A = this chain, B = another copy of it.
């Protein structure tokens, strides 16, 4: 097929996409060993950060439909990671609450995150790391702006 040599910006984008895929792989492979999937882990992580929440709140935070949260919570309940507790004041709602086992797994995830971060970035000089953080943040912000402009 017609092969123009990739420009430098194209190379950068390709590397970025490659890294994206690799990060994805790394996450999922580590998670499946714990009996977790990526989506369910994301939900568990949100609960870890924000405490027991209604499924509506989780849906808003995760950016998915409330119906989908029902399914994700079903899976986490089946795995013994969380329970559905009655909401103290609203009988329509349930509070998705980590079990002791779920809390253990969350602690493991937090520790794993730190370990991975150290393995990846631990030996970088602080100045260089801050520059990288700034680069990544700037890229993210720019991408978000592009997405919003495309679909207003």
Chain A residues in the interface with B (C-beta under 8 A): 1, 7-13, 15-20, 22-26, 29-30, 48-49, 51, 113-114, 116-122, 124, 126, 129-130, 132-133, 135-137, 139-140, 142-144, 146-147, 150-151
- Asked whether A147 lies within 8 Å of B26 as measured between CB atoms, the reply is yes
- Per the bound structure, the CA–CA distance linking A12 and B11 in Å amounts to 22
**Please, could you name 5 A-B residue pairs with CB atoms under 8 Å apart, sorted by A?**
A7-B118, A8-B121, A9-B117, A19-B20, A19-B136
Q: Given A19-B140, A48-B1, are A118 and B9 neighbors across the interface (CB < 8 Å)?
A: yes
Q: For A15, list chain B residues within 8 Å (CB).
A: 133, 136-137, 140
Q: Take A1-B51, A136-B19 as given contacts and tell me if A12 and B117 are in contact as well, using a CB distance cutoff of 8 Å.
A: yes
- What is the CA–CA distance of A32 and B114 in the complex, to the nearest angstrom? 35
Q: Which residues of B contact A117 (CB under 8 A)?
A: 7, 9-10, 12-13
The oligomer's copy count stands at 2
Nearest chain B residue, comparing its CB with the CB of A18: B140
